[in-house]
Amino acid sequence: SQQGEEDPQALSIQEGENATMNCSYKTSINNLQWYRQNSGRGLVHLILIRSNEREKHSGRLRVTLDTSKKSSSLLITASRAADTASYFCATDANDYKLSFGAGTTVTVRA
Amino acid sequence: DARVTQTPRHKVTEMGQEVTMRCQPILGHNTVFWYRQTMMQGLELLAYFRNRAPLDDSGMPKDRFSAEMPDATLATLKIQPSEPRDSAVYFCASGSDGGDEQFFGPGTRLTVL
């Protein structure tokens, strides 16, 4: 069963704009991860944030985590056409198992 | 460039046939995961192994699915007999003790007619 729920389901933006997507989850977690999936490919790990962290950056990515609200957000700044993909949040409650959300499909228009 | 490999990449078979999917985890990784991805259900964890021992296969239909790790370099997922509802993309992922990130293979796209 899916623990994470992403919002929105789909997002279309112009190149250079920022893209923000959110993830809500139900149970306590050790960490929350974001993955990207290009069409027809496997998932690629983007960033991990631990339950005792509130914000993390990696290049053009910024992730926040609010454990009191059981929610996370992923911000992609200055989007590029190559950022067109589906983005999934995944929660790790214990012992390496990940529960994935349904994903947000991001389309970056040139 | 270490990566998870999966074979075959595509498989079309008829209902009732046996299907075997193979995965080679990244050398040195000791956790292996099998996922199934469909439009309706999204990504579902089917089974996972740690140090070749199955730790959790609760997501797998036991009557027709089986997962094994004959050795540290090979994981297999078998479906016997296959059914049209098994049509999906099956991903293998591997990870290492102490690490949280999972590395995904390119997937096997299975179509059962």
DSSP state of A105: E
Question: According to the model, what pLDDT value does residue A95 have?
Answer: 65
Q: Do A42 and B43 touch (CB under 8 A)?
A: no
Confidence of residue A1 (pLDDT cuts 50, 70, 90): very low
Residue B89 tokens read as 């993309």
Q: Touching check for A44 and chain B: CB below 8 Å?
A: yes
Q: How far apart are CA A56 and CA A50, in angstroms?
A: 9
Q: How far apart are CA B51 and CA B32, in angstroms?
A: 9
Quick one: which of B20, B19, B49 has its CA closest to B34?
B49
pLDDT in tens, A16-58: 999 999 999 998 999 999 999 999 899 999 999 999 999 999 9
pLDDT in tens, B35-67: 999 998 899 999 999 999 998 888 898 899 999
Q: How far apart are CA B96 and CA B94, in angstroms?
A: 7
Q: Touching check for B46 and chain A: CB below 8 Å?
A: no
- The alpha carbon of residue B106 is apart from the nearest alpha carbon of chain A, in Å, by 4
pLDDT, chain A, mean: 93
Which amino acid belongs to residue A54?
A: R
Q: CA nearest B43 in A: which residue? A: A100
Q: Parallel, antiparallel, or unpaired: how do β-strands B5-7 and B19-24 relate?
A: antiparallel
Q: CA nearest A6 in B: which residue? A: B42
Under 8 Å CB-to-CB from B16, ≥6 apart: which residues?
Answer: B81, B82
pLDDT at residue A5 greater than cutoff 80: yes
Q: Touching check for A65 and chain B: CB below 8 Å?
A: no
DSSP state of A93: -
Q: Is B84 helix (H, G, I), strand (E, B) or coil?
A: helix
Question: According to the model, what pLDDT value does residue A4 have?
Answer: 72
pLDDT at residue B18 greater than cutoff 90: yes
Q: Do A43 and B93 touch (CB under 8 A)?
A: yes
pLDDT at residue A106 greater than cutoff 50: yes
| pLDDT over 90 percentage in chain A | 83
pLDDT at residue B93 greater than cutoff 70: yes
CA-CA-CA-CA dihedral for A42, A45, A46, A49, to nearest 10: 150
Mean pLDDT of A72-87: 97
